[in-house]
Structure formats: structure tokens, C-alpha cells
Amino acid sequence: MNSRKWLGAFCGFVTVGAIYFSGPCADMRINNAQLDHYADVLARVRHPVGTRRLSTERDLGILVGSGNHCDFFVAELREFDTSWADVQAAYADALAESEHLVKIHLVADEQLEGAHVPYLLHTRQAWGVPPTKTNAYLVYIFQSDTANLDLRCH
């Protein structure tokens, strides 16, 4: 009788392990690793002199649109003292080195119009930065992929 309890416990352990290492849990770990990869790519970007970070964000899930997909988003909202043309020129090499994953977008006013960002991050205030006359821009990576079994992407 005692050996049956051990066998039952062992089978339960194997079943829980199989569920953990396959299916939704495995896909969540894969998607977390992918998000970490994008964050590492963004962290390696050399930012121009005269700029400073105001805020950062990273997230994954269904961030824009609807349906069966998974969005990955990592970003920095930055401030600059020079001209926008100087900022764009300074990032030219960095954008090429990132295999064009990294994008930059001027924040012309309170709204982040035209940037491919999650719905909840379309204003400076959503980034924790009050509306000001500060020149700001977004450096970001936004990628979409299949949802697989990660429940955050359904």
C-alpha cells in the first residue's frame, strides 16, 4: 500500500512537471525571454549627448488590436536639448545595428500620435511625465508574433 502512495505521488509530480515544461508555462517563459532579448537590444543603443531618459516601459500581451497574437514592447521616453534632425542623425547607426528593430519617434505635443505604442501609453502623462514644453522622443521596439499558448496573448 505504501508503494502505491509513492507511485501516485511520483506520477503526480511527473504530470505537473510535464504541464510546467510544456504548454502555456513553456510559452510564457519563451515570450518572457523574447521580451528580455528586445530589452537587451534597446539597452545597447548608444544615445546622443544632450539627451536624458524620462521614463521606461516594457510589456507583452495584446497591446494593440485584437485577436490571436502577442505584442512585445520595450521603450524609453527621452528628452533632448538639440534639434530633432541632430537626434535623428545620431541614431542612424544605432538603428542599423539593431537590424531596424529600434525605432525613434518625436513627441510633438501631449499625444504620441503616429508611434506604434500600446493603447494605454499614448500620452506623456501615461508615461509619468507631466505635459510640458520639453522636447521629447520615444526610442522603442514594438514587435508582434503568434500567440502560441501564452494566455497573456489571447
pLDDT tens sequence across 15-26: 555 455 555 677
Q: Has this prediction a pTM greater than 0.85?
A: no
What does 84-131 look like in DSSP terms, one character per residue?
HHHHHHHHHHHHHHTTT--EEEEE-SSB-TTS---GGGSBTGGGT---
pLDDT attached to residue 150: 81
Q: How many CB atoms lie within 10 A of CB 144?
A: 17
d(CA 22, CA 29): 10
Residues in the chain predicted with pLDDT less than 50, given as ranges, are 18
What distance lies between CA 113 and its chain's CA centroid? 18
